[in-house]
Structure 1
């Protein structure tokens, strides 16, 4: 049956029996789903005429999962690029690039692009520069990004691709705005049909993990891309699309407000937050901090000055857009809270659900202000594992304030968890495991273990309803799993098997052998 693109997808009436419910008292339950909603849940039998009955035989039913911070299109491309994250020196990077630059497996339509360098403790960082890459190839553009995607190093051809030159960037290194210009240009190169095929694959992968919803903070005017995907049959996710400063005028001309449905997407794509990047990243040593980076006068980069942060956030709030403000360094966070405090005093507090993205280094005096403004901490737990070495290198003596999840939670600040893919994989179970262990497993020591959060907090920060258990009357965005995650340690969380995923009562994933 063909359903008009502006009409919500119909869903069957389904009765689950003998279900264990995550976050509910022990027992087996019957759960009735109808019209995309959980309409009843009881330990007593439920009569439901014409319903499809599914006996879960004790399997666990839970709210589905959300990734609160993705870069969807960049991820589709990034996971197919060569990763440099395992290399420990500039020399090793140059050797790896030289060995692969002409390999068809890594050719990107005449470019070589590699990702995720972690240079914190490299002994020879200055050796990775434009001239060294020109020596590998002076004809093929080479673009290598540092973890966090806030900086690149390029050969001359790579610089010229986005209008730069050896005169403007002698060492070939691009930071922040210049790096974003290159990143957007590289992301725009692949054919849209190919990207849409990749998107379908990634949507199925997300569903296989129990994910039904994402916030897409791709640096693009995103509604048109999702309209195109849904017109081709995509329907596996709910999507909230971000708006960046360079797209704000266009968005407001169209009358966009957070929560508005994007036409032609079955009501599954909505306008999300206004995304403002205020500073750099830890991986590029550009996160804007109160104290300088070791052995330097470098405090990082504030990509928008205090006046711009003030004006842009106020305009977005007055235009009914929720905020998603990246503030990685503690000084970037202070400037952001200063602006939002002033807006609140003037009668324009941030919209409910507005977030500070990352909040990786938080100074104690800012925590009460963070809470009083009603802000949410949008965190990416896998980063604390991947960046532990960088934190020790760039923030020595400040590690106790880094990725301070428990401190934020104990202060009453709501948490939402995501991946920031492609910087970390879209893998919510891994994010939960990292949050409750502060470790990536494999005998890795916990990073600042006093900031471990309990599994109930981490799970609720990852679910589609913000709770550990399903809601009667809530959307039937559900996941069937083989264990109760609230009883598991980090390694157990990593082993959870997703047997089925429903979005609005429709199956988006069924594991092989799961009979329904």
Structure 2
């Protein structure tokens, strides 16, 4: 929620002052629209910290801001080529790296970061689980974790009952070594009472604000169609192989080309392997071409929307609509259109990218306005959906997407008592007040795990 460069600089300075002994300065959360063209410069960090390497990931996780020390450590200079599926932003006059790295270019510096300790990982996970319970969340899909930095922690803490969450964890598959990853994941997958790992995560593309989302037609004023991380033939082969091996496949796809390529791969897998109940899903799905909107239902693909993003904030008005143009801007977050086709819809946060509170996202899906706005500008109000639709997306339909609809997601005799209480009836208040409702009690398996 830092809205100016000076606010961000102040936070960085205070952090560095209070941690003089840390080898690296690392963090995340800066908003891309704060900086001109979304490109903060290395020199601005050099003034604050010239001696230690600094890497700060953007709020959306698709860009990294680094100082000169980090670039030198990684050996990145004007002669360094862009990596596959990544981009090094450069000074337009000198071609020197300007300090912003996109997508896989982030790895050039990130690979030098020291690993988190087991204690740090477990402490972070316990704190995150408490925060989730605070917002009435009792089940999650963690859409991509490392074997060491997340999977073991989830499994061990779930078995020891130190977290009160039903967890569906996933592992990453990358274009270069997905076959090796498939064999490894077969040995890692498990299904416990409250924790499972049988989901694989693909990245089809990047994000529109970084011009790395894959588009069918170029970004306005350029010949650039973004970055499609997977060759379509490779994605077809990979998704069909994971499908055949019994994995649920979850794909990050934002641009219309990224979405279409992914739908094509799901269709290919269905043709090759036959229909099955894998409940594959696609997340974010920001720009869906009208021809592809019915395909979610036709292919039985769950549409996981992060509906908190579906209002006209700076990302939309400054970084998205101007590079898409008016025609494509009519396709942004078409939740209503996809719902009308009969597709399964779930709600997600993409936390820590944005708010973990489901009520924030539910309100925006209903109003298409910034939370709390009564008559402000709305983003494509024809794509708004009803409150009942979004409550189902966060309860029974969310449970369905994680193969838990027979256990949780509705209040029925015989199901586990994952139940929350709110301080008001959402159907009795104006829609612009939904985000202000508070969870007063969260029960997990009938046990009180949060009380306001």
What range is the shorter-chain TM-score in?
A: 0.7 to 0.9
In 2, the alpha carbon distance for the partners of 1:181 and 1:373 equals: 37
Q: How does 1:11-50 map to 2 (within 5 A)?
A: none
Aligned to 2:235: 309
Cα offset, 1:160, TM superposition: 5.0
Aligned to 2:377: 445
Aligned to 1:49: none
- 1:393 equivalent in alignment to 2:322: yes
Find the partner of 1:138 among 26, 29, 50: 50
- 1:218 equivalent in alignment to 2:159: no
TM-score, L = length of structure 1: 0.73
Name the Cα RMSD after superposition: 3.0
In 2, the alpha carbon distance for the partners of 1:320 and 1:488 equals: 44
Answer with 1 or 2: which has the greater Rg: 1
Can you give the 5+ residue segments of structure 2 that lack an aligned partner in the other structure? 81-87, 89-95
Cα offset, 1:322, TM superposition: 0.7
Aligned to 1:292: 218
- 1:208 equivalent in alignment to 2:139: no
Aligned to 1:459: 391
Change (3 A) 1:112 1:471: same
How big is each residue's C-alpha offset from its partner over 1:69-120, in whole Å with a ceiling of 9 and x where there is no partner?
xxxxxxxxxxxxxx65x12x7xx58855774573327996531434232238
Structure with the greater relative contact order (CA < 8 A, sep ≥ 6): 1 or 2? 1
Aligned to 2:431: 490
SS in 2 for 1:346: helix
Aligned to 1:174: 101
Aligned to 2:186: 255
Cα offset, 1:423, TM superposition: 0.7
Return 308-317 or 460-469, whichever deviates more.
460-469
Q: How does 1:99-248 map to 2 (within 5 A)?
A: 99-100=13-14, 102-104=16-18, 110-119=24-33, 123=36, 128-160=40-72, 164=76, 167-168=79-80, 169=88, 170-171=96-97, 172-179=99-106, 189-221=115-147, 222-230=150-158, 233-246=161-174
**Conservation of the 8 A alpha-carbon contact between 1:146 and 1:284:** no
Cα offset, 1:462, TM superposition: 0.5
Q: How many residues align?
A: 417
Find the partner of 2:345 among 412, 415, 427: 415
How big is each residue's C-alpha offset from its partner over 1:192-243, in whole Å with a ceiling of 9 and x where there is no partner?
3133223222212211211101111234124212134346651311110011
In 2, the alpha carbon distance for the partners of 1:473 and 1:371 equals: 30
In 2, the alpha carbon distance for the partners of 1:395 and 1:243 equals: 32
SS in 2 for 1:334: helix
**Conservation of the 8 A alpha-carbon contact between 1:148 and 1:284:** no
SS in 1 for 2:191: coil
Find the partner of 1:471 among 395, 399, 412: 412
In 2, the alpha carbon distance for the partners of 1:101 and 1:493 equals: 35
Change (3 A) 1:124 1:305: closer
**Conservation of the 8 A alpha-carbon contact between 2:294 and 2:338:** no
How big is each residue's C-alpha offset from its partner over 1:290-320, in whole Å with a ceiling of 9 and x where there is no partner?
1221221111111111122112111110110
Can you give the 5+ residue segments of structure 1 that lack an aligned partner in the other structure? 1-82, 512-516
SS in 1 for 2:186: coil
Aligned to 1:327: 253
Return 248-257 or 441-450, whichever deviates more.
248-257
